[in-house]
Chain A
């Protein structure tokens, strides 16, 4: 059964046609990675899944519910099934680490502050962090921020986790540690995940399937092995990171 279905989604920003009929489905428990160059519409696509953006045409169906038909309350209920890790972590800089991680619990559960603090500590240890609860986000390194962002994303026990460029801006060792964490969390929590990235090392490592988004359309979908062996010149050029080929640097 598909957990997420993106059906003929079109999105324009002014005269810019960013998504041009995207079709993609993600099965329950699957790890899908969408790859594509800068400006290919990856971020726009992932924002459609969680209802931060809505399609001009087409539908996004999550767990049987059409996202773009939901009212505010329905959308909020649906969002409780999600966790999202943002590219820059997007931690609330006026709140401490534990207030960030426990934010959704405070808003949507009946846990006491003490219980939230305990859950926060547990989630932080799941992402390999200890003793940072009372720090402010400004006191953390880039890798630590991503981990706290991840702890916040899993705080409510989501069924789906969205990762927006999880390894961008990190050194190779920290990037690989985040990859391991994504795999580890999937094993422990059994979640469906959608990752957008242009880091091929990460894509091969964490994905069950990889989809290539190019000029607002899904060009190819396949397992990491199938993508490695692709005959499509555009996909081949992208995954090998060559400057020579049909894709030109713009």
Chain B
């Protein structure tokens, strides 16, 4: 029965941790309203999380769009359905791959950076120092990162989807020789405005996950350099897991 006890212990710890994350979310939302607003901090975070993530998101989206076109061409050619490549690329990028891949990339880049920065601030008592200077650390540090993460994930996903579709078009039309008019018509006919919104709603949720988990892990860092390392790894792993798990439920909900 020892394994059952160990399993129960793990589940208990996981539930307790989730409870603390929800409390942290509640506090963040609470402090996001009301003055003062740290606009300068928000803009700085939008640059760090959003603008600095553009190269990695563009590369991922472009590669995915191109590979998707190439792979679906290989499969569809067997059924003589090459004309549907545009629709497949467009739908996949808007509803699924755009938001999920952008979420994973931003979690790896910006989520890790957030956890490492805040974790270092925690272990060097900078967060305590902030509190002693009568400034709420959640309002000053977490709220700008949380909001910037949500806002920039929206725009990064929109950019990623567009670039992925452009990459798919390039491979489908310029490399594989599909008719450009058919390609574009198929893309437009099969992609509704609601598909674009579904993808962008997912992006907003994933942005909240990356911002929340990155900050939570940073704020709960214990120990020295080892603790910062664990917090950084934890932020990336938990954010990525949550993005993948929530992706299923959001897909089911927004079907």
Taking beta carbons and an 8 Å cutoff, which residues of A are in contact with B? 47, 50-52, 72, 76-77, 79-80, 82-84, 86-88, 90-93, 103-104, 107-108, 152
Residues of A within 8 A of B59 (CB): none
Contacts A90-B125, A93-B126 given; indicate if A84 touches B134 (C-beta within 8 A): no
The 8 Å CB contact of A88, one of B36, B125, B136, is: B125
Instruction: Indicate with 1 or 0, residue by residue over B118-130, a CB within 8 angstroms of chain A CB atoms.
Output: 0001001110111
Cβ distance A225 to chain B, nearest Cβ, rounded Å: 32
The complex places the Cα of A79 from the Cα of B132 at a distance, in Å, of: 6
Taking beta carbons and an 8 Å cutoff, which residues of B are in contact with A? 36, 121, 124-126, 128-136
Smallest CB gap from A87: residue in B: B125
Cβ distance A64 to chain B, nearest Cβ, rounded Å: 18
Residues of A within 8 A of B124 (CB): 88, 90, 93
Cβ distance A135 to chain B, nearest Cβ, rounded Å: 17
The 6 A-B residue pairs whose C-beta atoms are closest, nearest first, are A90-B129, A90-B125, A76-B134, A79-B134, A84-B132, A104-B133
20 contacts between A and B (CB under 8 A): A51-B131, A52-B128, A52-B131, A52-B132, A76-B134, A76-B135, A76-B136, A79-B133, A82-B132, A86-B129, A88-B124, A88-B125, A90-B124, A90-B129, A91-B126, A92-B129, A93-B124, A104-B133, A107-B134, A152-B133
Cβ distance B124 to chain A, nearest Cβ, rounded Å: 6
Residues of B within 8 A of A152 (CB): 133
The 8 Å CB contact of A90, one of B36, B126, B135, is: B126
Smallest CB gap from A78: residue in B: B134
Residues of B within 8 A of A82 (CB): 132
The complex places the Cα of A245 from the Cα of B134 at a distance, in Å, of: 43
Residues of B within 8 A of A77 (CB): 134
Smallest CB gap from A88: residue in B: B124
Residues of A within 8 A of B36 (CB): 107
Smallest CB gap from B38: residue in A: A107
Contacts A76-B134, A79-B134, A107-B135 given; indicate if A84 touches B129 (C-beta within 8 A): yes
